[in-house]
Amino acid sequence: MHLHGHEYQILAEGHGTWDGVITNPNNPARRDVHILPSAKLDLFGPSSPSYMVILFEADNPGVWPFHCHIAWYVSAGLYVNILERPDDIKKYNIPPAMSEICKNWGDYASKNVVNQIDSGLRNVCVHGDC
């Protein structure tokens, strides 16, 4: 799993549902990518999902993707945006060039077939330019 905008520490990981116990408290390594333990599949009984508990300092306001690097898994939903310090984000101005990029892509996609394998990004209005 990869977290943009931060480095993090792994406090616990395993299979099933996390019980709230930190199993790796002395974890000096800081990283932005870590391999999530694979789920345990059982054809004749209940399968067991996996989990990973991370710790990072919320010192970088923004919307930060936390995702798997395998595209098929991202398409299946192994992706989340972390909204960090939303009140601080409101203080920033979006550069006009960013709004123009979104508008240009929308114009292109409305007139051309886009080979898209998943649900993709949703159009978001920026400064009312949709």
Q: What is the CATH number of the domain that holds 14?
A: 2.60.40.420
23, 55 Cβ separation under 8 angstroms: no
56, 9 Cβ separation under 8 angstroms: yes
- Give the domain range for residue 19: 2-86
Domains of the chain: total: 2
Asked if the model's pLDDT at residue 29 lies above 50, the reply is: yes
Q: Name the DSSP class of 123.
A: P
Q: Are residues 10 and 70 in the same domain?
A: yes
Q: Are residues 69 and 11 in the same domain?
A: yes
Q: Sorting pLDDT into bands at 50, 70 and 90, what band is 46?
A: low
pTM score, whole prediction: 0.66
